Amino acid sequence: MTQPVKRAYKYRFYPTSEQAEELARTFGCVRLVYNKALDERTRAYALQGRRVSYVESSAALTAWKRTPEPAFLAEVSSVPLQQALRHLQAAFANFFAKRARYPTFKSRKKSRASAEYTRSAFRWRDDRLTLAKMDQPLAIVWSRPLPQGAEPSTVNVSRDAAGRWFVSILVEERISPLPPVETPVGVDAGITALVTLSTGEKIVNPRHERRDRRKLAKAQREVSRKTERSNNRAKARLKAARVHARIADRRRDFLHKLSTRLVRENQVIAVEDLTVRNMVRNHRFARAISDASWRELRSMLEYKAAWYGRTLVAVDRWFPSSKLCSACGALAGSMPLTIREWTCACGVVHDRDVNAAKNVLAAGLAES
């Protein structure tokens, strides 16, 4: 049975000079509105002990447009500015619900440059997308088609640190679940092997960051040698950002292919509930753990399993998967990471990672 889901399709596009100027102005206004609203909310709570609502922030935005200093806010589309206030409202809701930290100010250099347009702020006609305040449609590279008859509900335009422009189109799509299969699999995350499956297969970690480490280090040295706020420094920073983008793109592509394969081939997927945020505090392994990107793989498995009718089970992080014998159930003693193979009292010789994957699968099936 098909089920409707919200799905975003991301494409690269090449704006004209006028479109790039308009979008850059919009990005700046979005950042300014977000920061001003956050500042007012913070002061209201600190001085008066009250919470500012979205309605009050929206009324303040109208007042800002009528004052001389930020009057330029009226020159861009009002929808991305309202969406910035909604995002801030959601950030505060997550903070008060203890799901996230206190919202922080957006930085011109570090924050992602983006603007969100709802249905009233763009025109979709004959598969051509035209944003508010623009006369021409965006020159989008359609790397894959949108679903037949899909109508975009939200459009997010962004520019990454490497200077590339992207548009993310949100549509409602009906996805048919995959045919059921009998195969379950346990997945043990690692560094040498990115994942080890309960079948005994080990998928090697491509180590994308390590492969380009020299190139990245050279680009970062070039940045540090340039004069602050100079054009040469900006050019060097752009080169370094392109190396970072290449690493991230290759990593994401590999994880998409891996997660799709696991979801297609298995009905139940059992994984460890790892706290990557705490694990990267270990400075000895932080770089390798970040390069492996376990959290991104877990996220992909979650939404793809939901789309295609599979079951993803997260096993408790304290479950002793590596020290437990998958044959007899005996629990071994202390086992440092240097031990890659061990022999149980029952005589079975275990590969540490394969044994852990088998135990993760057994625990996941017991939970599900």
Side-chain-facing half-sphere of 174: CA atoms under 13 Å? 5
Sign of the torsion formed by the C-alpha atoms of 264, 268, 272 and 275: positive
Sign of the torsion formed by the C-alpha atoms of 276, 279, 282 and 285: negative
Q: Assign residue 127 a region: left if phi > 0, alpha if psi is -120 to 50, beta otherwise? A: left
| Alpha carbon distance 115, 287 (integer Å) | 31
Which positions ≥6 away from 42 have C-beta within 8 Å? none
Contact 280, 289 (CB under 8 A): yes
Nearest Cα neighbor of 305 from 177, 195, 197 is 177
**Structure tokens belonging to residue 2:** 């098909």
* Rg (alpha carbons) of the chain, rounded to whole number: 25
- C-alpha distances in Å from residue 250, one per residue of 239, 246, 350: 17, 6, 33
Residues annotated as catalytic are: 188, 272, 353
Amino acid at 148: Q
DSSP helix/strand/coil, 241:
helix
